[in-house]
Structure 1
Amino acid sequence: MNNVEKITTVILVEPEYQGNIGAVARAMKNTGFEKLFIVGKRTIDDEALSRARDGASILLNAYFFNTLKEAIEGFDIVVGSSSVKTSNFKKFRRIPITPRELWQSYGNGMKKIALVFGREGDGLSNEEISMCNVFIHIPSSKDYSVYNLSHAVTIVLYEALLYRGNEEIKELPATGEQTHLIVEKTIEIMKKTNYPQYKIENTAVMLERLLTRSSLTEHEFYKIMGIIKKINLKVSNEDGKNN
């Protein structure tokens, strides 16, 4: 699996039940994933350890964070998950792919992946969803679409086991920092051309999601940055003439 389990971290955002935390750790142990981050209370009790069985070591080595923003720092792919989805492209923040499509796109083990799972009751907030550059939805019955937290984690990690990354990596992928740099430089141009301020945030999120889904290579990153640099220079020169 090209060590995808080594560079993938499961992040639980404010989990409400210790039993679920333990069951998640057990599922991780079953599938070979070891890195667990927890946002919220720094508590692992006997119920969690009991439910984890041989995955107890994962709980004992888990890292705790106060906010999701802190937890996802340094990851290239931040995957949000929810039972809520949409096909309305105006609500692009929640347009999902399936777990299988996730691993087909990013299962080559070349990028650091964070799998973010929300609260059992409320899921992820809109602000937390905006921090994710990939969004997944697990297919389910229309009558009852909400999976238990540990079941959702198990399904996503099981799909990773089914996928086997390509042995040959022809080109290095662009990193999350490089993708974000394209977005930052594009925003600079948008501001210089008087692009409506209220549209900039949503456009930036949409652009970052688009670039992430495209599995941009490092070579493509440098090509795009070259184009952006020339556009930025042209816009700056025009501004100078007008002033």
Structure 2
Amino acid sequence: MNIAQQGGEIRIVLVGTQHPGNIGAAARAIKTMGLERLVLVAPERYPHGDAIAMAAGADDVLDAARIVGSLAEAVADCALVLGCTARSRRIALEELAPRAAAARLHGAAASGARVALVFGRERTGLDNDELQLCHAAVHIPANPDYSSLNLAAAVQVLSYELRMAALADGGHAVALAPQEEQREPPASHAELEGFFAQLGDTLDAIDFHKGRAPESALRKLRRIFLRCALDTREVRLLRGVLADAQRMARLASPPGPGE
């Protein structure tokens, strides 16, 4: 059973992979679990013979892999993005165990959404700016005395959990409740980032921060809105509110020289 075809799309994203063999091994890991969508964000060495050798027959996954320059580009059309991380960060993200993360990804994909599971660099993982683009973090509860998990092994663990979530569902798409059938599609990552950019501009325009650094408030507001799972219509409505707030802020501003 190919779980990538159940409803939406489950995308495995590797960010800044340093060793090409890990790309091939990851391709093999996801293919064995019925996944096929691989996106590579700025890999250090790819294409490379080591990737082909370690793929061990998953050449079709490598051939179909997209290569992009940034994580934002890789997940722009996704409604749910989960980032795998091995340690706590200053950015406060909801933390999910692999099984819970897989269930959430499968449920969203089965409902027709594009979703992404993101893995960082072998040595340093995902940086804080990249984690900021994720809706929640996934942590594999490895042995605390030796938690060094190979990138491809981590991909295998999460891919296995995704397959188990699909098998538990009988391999079928999750049926929507009647009241959910008419809901607009979930807002894409790009739509949400556009909203957050406009929100930041609006807070500046109304002097919300009062001279304080804006980063903390914006991080908290991101978390609030991401928990709401906004759809496209709701994002359009909120952006309309922000546009009116910006217009009123301009009207309230004292005229500049020559105006």
What's the TM-score bracket when you normalise by the shorter of the two chains? Answer: 0.7 to 0.9
Q: 1:142 to 1:55 in 2, by over 3 A?
A: same
Bigger fraction of residues in helix: 1
Q: Distance in 2 between matches of 1:238 and 1:105?
A: 45
Count of residue pairs the alignment pairs up: 238
Equivalent of 2:83 in 77, 80, 85: 80
Give the unaligned 5+ runs of structure 2: none
State the shift of 1:191 in Å.
0.6
Q: Deviations over 1:162-198 (max 9, x none)?
A: 3245222532322223323332332222111223366
Q: Sequence identity, in percent?
A: 25
In structure 2, the CA distance between the partners of 1:222 and 1:137, relative to structure 1 (3 Å rule), is same
CA–CA distance in structure 2, aligned partners of residues 2 and 23 of structure 1: 18
1:10 to partner: Cα distance: 1.8
Structure 1 residues 20-169: aligned runs within 5 Å:
20-38=22-40, 39-40=42-43, 41-45=45-49, 47-85=50-88, 91-93=90-92, 95-106=94-105, 107-109=107-109, 110-163=112-165, 164=169, 166-168=174-176, 169=180
CA deviation after TM superposition for structure 1 residue 29, in Å: 0.7
Identify the match of residue 195 of structure 2 among 182, 189, 206. Answer: 182
- Give the match's secondary structure for 2:86: coil
CA RMSD of aligned residues (A): 3.3
Q: What is the CA–CA distance in structure 2 between the aligned matches of 1:17 and 1:220, rounded to whole Å?
A: 42
Do structure 1's residue 11 and structure 2's residue 10 form an aligned pair? no
Q: Secondary structure at the match of 2:208?
A: coil
C-alpha distance 207-102 of structure 1, shift in aligned 2 (>3 A): farther
Q: For residue 149 of structure 1, report the CA deviation from its aligned partner.
A: 0.8
Does structure 2 conserve the Cα–Cα contact (< 8 Å) formed by 1:22 and 1:50? yes
Q: Would you say the 8 A contact 1:134–1:212 is kept in 2?
A: no
Question: Structure 1: 5+ residue runs without aligned partners?
Answer: none
Q: Report the TM-score, using the length of structure 2 for normalisation.
A: 0.74
Q: The residue matched to 2:23 in structure 1 has which SS?
A: helix
232-241 or 99-108, larger mean C-alpha shift: 232-241
More divergent stretch after superposition (124-133 vs 136-145):
124-133
Q: Distance in 1 between matches of 2:22 and 2:7?
A: 21
Contact map agreement 1:2 1:167 (CA 8 A) in 2: no
- Choose from 207, 220, 225 the match for 1:194: 207
Structure 1 CA distance for aligned equivalents of residues 240 and 147 of structure 2:
45
Whole-Å separation in 2 of the counterparts to 1:156 and 1:42: 23
Secondary structure of 2:96's counterpart equals coil
Equivalent-residue separation in structure 1 for 2:23 and 2:85 (angstroms): 17
TM superposition shift of 1:152: 1.0
Q: Compared with structure 1, are the counterparts of its residues 4 and 145 closer, same or farther at alpha carbon in structure 2 (3 Å cutoff)?
A: farther
Q: Which stretch shows the higher mean deviation, 164-173 or 53-62?
A: 164-173
Distance in 2, matches of 1:70 and 1:227, equals: 27
SS at match of 2:11: strand
